[in-house]
Structure 1
Amino acid sequence: MGPANRSDFIDEARGGGWKILLGAFLGSALSVSAVPFYSLGVLAGPIAAEFGWSRGAIQASLAFSMIGMVLAAVPTGWLTDRYGARAMAAIGLGLLAVVLVLLGLAGPSLPMWYGLWVAMSLLASGSTAITWTRGVSDWFVKSRGLALGLTLMGNGFTAVVAPPLVTALVASHGWRSAYFVLAAAVIVLGLIPTLLFFRERPTTRAKAHEDLPGLTLREAVGGYRMWLVSIAFVFLSFGVAGSIPNLVPLITDRGFSAMEAAGFASLIGISVIAGRVGTGWLLDRFWAPGVAAAILLLPIGGCLLLASPDVGPAMIGFAVVAIGLTAGMEFDMMGFLCARYFGFRNYGKIFSAPWIGFALGAAVGAAAFGKIRDATGSYVPVLLVTAGTFAVAALLLLMLGRYPRFEATTEAAR
């Protein structure tokens, strides 16, 4: 597969791909990976004030969510390979809306609160990148990187609109109403477009997965590449999942107001969008691990800036954008690497391995940021650790080597 050009993307979109992109974009924007993640930073303060919980206890919700994702990853991958991405995505979005309503009705029991976050990630796992990347990668071959970037740009859209929207909802109607509105948005803007537009290629649905190009599960597990990718995403997600939900409290600790901090946090969404599209364009033209390593230099600098004592608004904005660009590459990079290094025969099952790695890193990162801040009164120590984790992730991905070839004529003909 040679470098893509604009006409390749247009041709694949005209062949029915635009509907899949639209459905996947909206589904990704309203998924369990986006809505709870980008709203918790704003909701944490009001929830803590009502229930008397600490900041670290609230942020630990994401750690419990990641536990559920780890438990759900392999079954979700298996079910996606067996029953299709569309069915799994629709079920996941519907159940996500149900749990968001339950969060809005929650009482002051912290164990029950954590249980809802575990249940949310278990029940809504079909709305994760496992399904969106599977469907889009199937329709787009020559312009796969760009298509994945556009699909997962939905997360960036949520990162732009969620902080100010949720802040306004909390100010006018309280945090419980904010969860009810988020649940309605998942149904109207996520589930319905998924049912209308998102589906796999008919020729793929007609085939047994054993007939698709790629590695068997045993071959992938027995090789070194699946482990490199999985471990790399542990380190990458530690930094992304730890820093982004804590940006609002991190910035308010520097003396900015909640609305000013929310404005900085909205830069994450803009940079995530730029990261999605930019990374996708680069993936279609250059070696994916090299692209990842180059992008990971940015958040290393961003963390060091945020850890510095005398940094003005402009440098804080730059640091936030640097982290957002990295968040913009995570899932499309994961999907692209799985498609190119492992193929489609067992895509869902194999994708679950780096997805578990991502979830584990995110669980540790989300908990570590809040806990270390509570213990030390500062985010500086964990920001310095995070700069190191981004560097480790880059080095691991650079060890992947050349892309393998799986029945090249079959892939090119799809």
Structure 2
Amino acid sequence: MISPKNKSKSKPSWINSIPFNYGWIIVVVAWLGMFMSGPGQTFVVAIFVDPIIEDTGWSRTTVSAVYSAGSICAFVGAFIAGRAFDKFGARIVLIAVAALFGLATVLMGQVTHPAHLFLGFWGIRSLGQTALSMVSTSTVNVWFVRLRGRATAITSLAAPVSEIALPPLIYLLIISNGWRSTWVILGIAIWIVLLPPAILLVRRTPESVGLKPDMGRKDVLQLKESQTGVQEDNWTSKQAMKTKAFWLLIFAGTAGSLIGTAMTFHHMSLMNSRGIANTEATLILSLTAAVGVFSTILTGYLLDKMPNRFILAAGQIMLMASMAWTFLIQDLWHAAIYGIFTGMTQGLIYTTMIVIFPNYFGRKHLGTIMGVATIGMVVSSGLGPLPFGALYEISNNYDLAIISFLPLPALCALAAVFASPPKLKSQ
């Protein structure tokens, strides 16, 4: 077994006087990061789609194509943030990402041309949906090993809470202030919420302040000299990419990213096509997020108890159920059941995808490994909205799009089942 080394030496710190595991403070900061990634997430962008179309006169296909292009190009954020995370640590990278994400969000309110819209979507998707989410969860994964599932679940709760809170709030802001001013308000909020805790509270690793994963200062002092705390294998990115499990996991995550993003991006239109008004459709988003809270807590507990790949496969099955149910939506209660299925899917797939890579490949090179893995998820998420939008304009409903993509989660479930944990060969 290899214990992760850190270039920074352990120095006396006020953190050592805290009577509990400082990792839980890291979880709080990461929670805020996940929550404030909302303006870069599809569930927030979806609220802006119709106002942008109505104000600019651009077609749904144009906006969908621009969003898809910006989302695909967001892999740049994953690659840069992942490598920077390993080189400079969470504190510096989180500060930089938060500052730039706030700026990109403010500039979204200034777009006047599809090219500007592409740059805006590229910015908020690269920095919010990709970099900020990855840095937040990776920081928690560095501070926890044995309790990783539960710590990640708590952090991941920020996503459904954000999905509950932000859509109705943003909907009201758009009605009151217009969509352009709303983007500016969101950008300023990102700076206010994220920059102070990133500067004051985040530390690179537990080892850098004399601690160990899952342990407070008291626990570390009680260790015998021969003990080193939790042990784990640590793979380099090159070693990880040579394993079958790495690529099976990346493929297993594509259905949730591609289909989930597409159906969230077109959520308002999808609900309208089934006779559900905008106000009720917005409430379904919040219901989805509320169920996601329960699903995330449940998934976090299960991840510490059973093989992660089976939980990921269960998420794909739930995704298929969610897609199939759309054909039955005629009343509000039908839409509510769709929201429940979707919320369960989000917790099962997304929480597992965050935890399974550090569980398989360790902490030392996690930034680079997650950067590569996130590229697959980001590209697949970018590929979803355009075909769904184009197929809608061809058939005037979403049935063809859903039928066309229904086999993908079945294939992803099989990939997850076959992604057994790899074994690191002794050097």
> Normalising by the residue count of structure 1, what TM-score does the alignment of the two structures yield?
0.87
Matched, 1:218 2:218: no
Q: Please point out which of 193, 197, 205 is paired with 2:197.
A: 193
Q: Please point out which of 276, 286, 292 is paired with 1:256.
A: 276
Q: CA deviation at 1:123?
A: 5.1
Question: Which residue pairs with 1:56 in the alignment?
Answer: 61
The whole-number CA distance in structure 1 between the counterparts of 2:333 and 2:130 is: 39
Larger Rg: 2
Deviations 1:101-134 (A, max 9, x none): 1111221x11221122223344557743321222
Give the direction of change, closer, same or farther, for the CA distance of 1:276–1:199 in structure 2 (3 Å limit): farther
Residue type at the aligned position of 1:129? S
Matched, 1:97 2:128: no
Give the direction of change, closer, same or farther, for the CA distance of 1:61–1:204 in structure 2 (3 Å limit): farther
The whole-number CA distance in structure 1 between the counterparts of 2:271 and 2:73 is: 29
Question: Which residue pairs with 1:412 in the alignment?
Answer: none
Q: Tell me how large the CA RMSD over aligned residues is.
A: 2.6
More helix by share: 1
> Aligned to 1:401, what secondary structure does the other structure show?
coil
Matched, 1:148 2:152: yes
Give the direction of change, closer, same or farther, for the CA distance of 1:196–1:156 in structure 2 (3 Å limit): farther
Matched, 1:161 2:165: yes
Q: Please point out which of 254, 274, 280 is paired with 2:300.
A: 280
Residue type at the aligned position of 2:85? T
Residue type at the aligned position of 2:203? R
Residue type at the aligned position of 1:172? S
The whole-number CA distance in structure 1 between the counterparts of 2:209 and 2:363 is: 12
Give the direction of change, closer, same or farther, for the CA distance of 1:73–1:156 in structure 2 (3 Å limit): same
Query: Equivalences for 1:179-190 in 2 at 5 Å?
Result: 179-190=183-194
- Figure out how many residues of one structure are paired with residues of the other and give that number: 391
Query: Equivalences for 1:298-377 in 2 at 5 Å?
Result: 298-308=318-328, 311-377=330-396
Question: Which residue pairs with 1:380 in the alignment?
Answer: 399
Residue type at the aligned position of 2:344? L
Q: CA deviation at 1:352?
A: 1.9
Q: Please point out which of 78, 84, 89 is paired with 1:79.
A: 84
The whole-number CA distance in structure 2 between the counterparts of 1:93 and 1:259 is: 31
The whole-number CA distance in structure 1 between the counterparts of 2:141 and 2:43 is: 26
**Structure 2: where are the runs of 5+ without partners?**
1-17, 212-230
> Aligned to 2:384, what secondary structure does the other structure show?
helix
Q: CA deviation at 1:82?
A: 0.6
User: Which range is displaced more, 397-406 or 72-81?
Assistant: 397-406
Residue type at the aligned position of 1:271? V
Are the equivalent residues in 1 in contact too, given 2:34–2:159 (CA < 8 A)? yes
The whole-number CA distance in structure 2 between the counterparts of 1:325 and 1:163 is: 19
Are the equivalent residues in 2 in contact too, given 1:100–1:180 (CA < 8 A)? yes
Deviations 1:354-394 (A, max 9, x none): 21111111011122222211222111111223332222211
Question: Which residue pairs with 1:15 in the alignment?
Answer: 21
**Structure 1: where are the runs of 5+ without partners?**
1-11, 408-414
Give the direction of change, closer, same or farther, for the CA distance of 1:334–1:13 in structure 2 (3 Å limit): farther
The whole-number CA distance in structure 2 between the counterparts of 1:60 and 1:199 is: 39
Q: CA deviation at 1:204?
A: 5.0
The whole-number CA distance in structure 2 between the counterparts of 1:285 and 1:213 is: 19
Q: CA deviation at 1:406?
A: 9.3
Q: CA deviation at 1:13?
A: 9.9
Matched, 1:30 2:30: no
Give the direction of change, closer, same or farther, for the CA distance of 1:124–1:247 in structure 2 (3 Å limit): closer
Give the direction of change, closer, same or farther, for the CA distance of 1:221–1:204 in structure 2 (3 Å limit): farther
Give the direction of change, closer, same or farther, for the CA distance of 1:176–1:28 in structure 2 (3 Å limit): same
Question: Which residue pairs with 2:122 in the alignment?
Answer: 118
User: Which range is displaced more, 35-44 or 360-369?
Assistant: 35-44
> Aligned to 2:394, what secondary structure does the other structure show?
helix
Q: CA deviation at 1:36?
A: 4.2
Are the equivalent residues in 2 in contact too, given 1:39–1:162 (CA < 8 A)? yes
Matched, 1:69 2:74: yes
Are the equivalent residues in 2 in contact too, given 1:213–1:406 (CA < 8 A)? no
User: Which range is displaced more, 87-96 or 121-130?
Assistant: 121-130
Deviations 1:260-285 (A, max 9, x none): 11111211221222222221111011
Residue type at the aligned position of 1:173? N
The whole-number CA distance in structure 2 between the counterparts of 1:305 and 1:159 is: 21
The whole-number CA distance in structure 2 between the counterparts of 1:311 and 1:404 is: 50
Are the equivalent residues in 2 in contact too, given 1:23–1:193 (CA < 8 A)? yes
Q: CA deviation at 1:315?
A: 2.4
The whole-number CA distance in structure 2 between the counterparts of 1:277 and 1:240 is: 20
Give the direction of change, closer, same or farther, for the CA distance of 1:66–1:13 in structure 2 (3 Å limit): farther
Are the equivalent residues in 1 in contact too, given 2:39–2:186 (CA < 8 A)? no
The share of aligned pairs that are identical, in percent, is 23
Question: Which residue pairs with 2:310 in the alignment?
Answer: 290
> Normalising by the residue count of structure 2, what TM-score does the alignment of the two structures yield?
0.85
Residue type at the aligned position of 2:157? M
Give the direction of change, closer, same or farther, for the CA distance of 1:206–1:222 in structure 2 (3 Å limit): farther
